Amino acid sequence: MSKARDIAAGTSGGFAIKVISADKVLDAETHYRTGDESVINYDATVTVPTDSLLEVGYYDALKSL
């Protein structure tokens, strides 16, 4: 993965949060991070290419070892 980007404007525990209300195709070769409060509406589809990663963070803190 060559890039990391948040798919949202807000933050929750250090992760981005967003409401996705329309179909969205994520970029190839990209690592996305989102918070556990993010929402994908029932009528929206998020397409994640096989060479990308969509990571959902469920924790309040993110730390390195």
Q: Tens digits of per-residue pLDDT, 10-49? A: 555 556 678 899 999 999 999 988 878 889 999 999 999 9
The gap between the terminal CA atoms of the chain, to the nearest Å, is 21
Report the C-alpha gap between 65 and 47 in whole angstroms: 32
Q: Compute CA distances 46 → 6, 13, 61, 64, whole Å.
A: 14, 23, 26, 29
- Write down the pLDDT at residue 44: 95
Round the CA-based radius of gyration of the chain to a whole number and report it. 12
